[in-house]
Amino acid sequence: MIKRIKQALYFPIASYFRFFAQIKLAGWNPKIIAITGSSGKTTLLHLIESQLGNKAKYSHHANSSYGIPFNLLGLNRNKLTPDEWIGLFLLAPFKAFKSVPYEKLYIVEADCDRPGEGKFLASLLNPEITLWISSSLTHSVNFDSLVNNKHFASAEEAIKLAIVNGDNPLMIKEAKKFKVPIEVVDKKGLESYRIDENSTEFIIEHKKYSINFLVPKDVYYSIQMTNLLMKTLSLPFDLTFKNLILPPGRNIVFQGIKNTTIIDSTYNATPDGVKNILEMFEKYPAKNKSSTDSVLDKWIVLGDMIELGIREKKEHEKLATFINSMNLSKIVLIGPRVSKYTYPKLKNAEKFDMPKDGLDYILKNINGGEVILFKGARFLEGIIEHLLQNKKDVNKLVRREIVWQNRRKAWGI
């Protein structure tokens, strides 16, 4: 009952904040560049930020029907508690008439996953350029609404240029419907991909691109989209991405207890995203640092992939097929979905419903020198907290708000 009430009120309440955000946006009138897709949006936003710097304002931590209006109005949810809403409602009218940002570009991440979200956001945003980084079956229709369902005389008024992932058949099919110029990015120009312990190198059309973070191979699309965007804006492009900073939970490397290496990829877990990270981890140059031999000592700790609906069973089983092809020392599954669907199809794995039980197993079984990848739901960041060598690194993990801390405590981590 409560869930249905929340669903019914979602857009009516969001419309209140959208109204005042529209006032603020009308007074500002920036060139809007929208980033959308099922995964990879935030990484693309940060790649663009590393190039544009203070030439643009960015919708950090804001990609929804609430988040984007909040970002435009300068409203923040710090605790994620119900009492915050009173202040947000009262402040919105005043924030609408505050001074506007000085930047002339607004780079905004638009999540069109929820039914109706694309249409809702399209009624607020009027992007001149849209970058469509990835898509699943559920996202292609929603992206179409972002392009076409705003009350414009024609689609050309909504978007002047769309840059899309040309290796996704679903996206190409949808893109053909757009009555706007299309730029396509595909992997034809990718010549090599290599990762080191803390960095990634791409060779694209005989040029070397360096990123001082671990990123999966599909980030190639984001690099090329960023490059195309900079050309469109007639701005220089830095192949080293020296100003790049990635947010928590995106393959951040930490020093763990007993000389272990922790790779934190806990931010989200879509089927394609998980597969991309596992492919990246396969190439990670891991050796047992506590031994003189060259035996690979890689662990994966996987949580559930959530909100998959009728595809839940199939996607978790497909995950097992890929894991079986990997060279791993340990496979630790945490959550009811991976335990029910993934575990039976694995050759050698441990499963736990609760993260506390998974943590206890890890603490008892690490010998030292292992490289451990964390990916998926089920509060895996709470497990990582207990494995960090430097406890100050806790602040670099995802979900630091009070509400998440309380939930982890309730689960024993």
DSSP of 125-153: ---SEEEE----HHHHHHHHHHHH-SS-S
Terminal Cα-to-Cα distance of the chain (whole angstroms) = 30
Exposed/middle/buried for 184, CB within 10 Å: 0-12, 13-18, 19+?
middle
Q: What is the mean pLDDT of residues 83-94?
A: 95
Please say if the pLDDT value at position 89 is more than 90.
yes
pLDDT at 149 over 70: no
Instruction: For residue range 59-85, list pLDDT tens digits in order.
Output: 998 999 999 999 999 999 887 788 899
Unique residue bearing structure tokens 């060598």: 389
Average pLDDT over residues 221-237: 97
Query: How does the average pLDDT of the chain come out, rounded?
Result: 90
Residue 379 confidence (pLDDT) above 80: yes
0.85 surpassed by pTM: yes
How high is the pLDDT of residue 136? 63
Task: Check pLDDT > 80 for residue 347.
Answer: yes
How buried is residue 334: exposed, middle or buried, by Cβ count under 10 Å (0-12/13-18/19+)? Answer: buried
How far apart CA 361 and CA 179 sit, in angstroms, is: 56
Q: Please check the confidence at residue 138 and state whether its pLDDT lies above 70.
A: no
Both tokens of 126, joined, read 């009027």
**Domains of the chain, first to last:** 10-232 (3.40.1190.10), 252-410 (3.90.190.20)
